[in-house]
Amino acid sequence: MTAEAVIPEMTSSSLPDWVFPPPGGFAAEALDHIPDLPAHTELIDGSLVFVRPRASFHTLLVDLLTVALRQAAPARMRVRREMSLILAKAQRPEPDLMVIKTEAVRGNDDTYYKAGDVVLIVEVVSPESKVRDHRRKPQLYAEAGISHFWLIEKNSGGPTAYVYELDPVTRSYVITGIHRDRLKLTVPFDLDIDLTEIDDL
């Protein structure tokens, strides 16, 4: 006889009140005051977005990029992993990585940064977040004026990095390169990342 997992049936009465958005949606600042909010919850268009457990590829690639960016970033910049970003009243996504200006760091109690603090956003695509990562998030980042955006996803040959820069006239991103195996750039600063190192982690 085999044991089967029992998944409790969820009803509206068994869910916390904050699952249901108020009229007009949640405000970005509200996330700091919602009790027992699951880790890595994002706010997109006023609605809470809950993140599923991440696959090993996602975690290892973010580890690799975190170390590489911290080694390459100039003193006037800092790297932050999985911190939320307030873009507008109803927009508070949580990018996988951000490079921010050093003066944006207020202290160890920081829970978010603002668009004007950010130099680079990096999103590593997960299957469950693919539509958001490919469409809505880049649109929000571009509209907020963030100059550099990378989208990295797993392909059959390993990680592929799509590098974008902001067109200030259209407030949209323009692709400047597709990188496999190695990510070598001069903007927003000089860096050279061997993406194949993920295989050794």
Residue 98: pLDDT band (50, 70, 90) is very high
Asked whether the predicted pLDDT for residue 151 surpasses 90, the reply is yes
If you average pLDDT over residues 80-93, what whole number do you get? Answer: 96
State the CATH architecture for 56-200.
Alpha-Beta Complex (3.90)
Asked whether the predicted pLDDT for residue 12 surpasses 60, the reply is no
Asked whether the predicted pLDDT for residue 2 surpasses 70, the reply is no
Asked whether the predicted pLDDT for residue 126 surpasses 80, the reply is yes
Can you give the pLDDT at residue 6?
Answer: 46
Q: How is the chain split into domains, by residue range?
A: 12-49, 56-200
The pTM assigned to this predicted structure is 0.88
Residue 91: pLDDT band (50, 70, 90) is very high
Can you give the pLDDT at residue 7?
Answer: 45
Please state the three-class secondary structure of the chain as a single string.
CCCCCCCCCCCHHHCCHHHCCCCCCCCHHHHHHCCCCCCCCEEECCEEECCCCCCHHHHHHHHHHHHHHHHHCCCCEEEEECCEEECECCEECCCCEEEEEHHHCCCCCCCEEEHHHEEEEEEECCHHHHHHHHHHHHHHHHHCCCCEEEEEEEECCEEEEEEEEEECCCCEEEEEEEEECEEEECCCCCEEEEHHHHHHC
For all residues of the chain together, what is the average pLDDT? 91
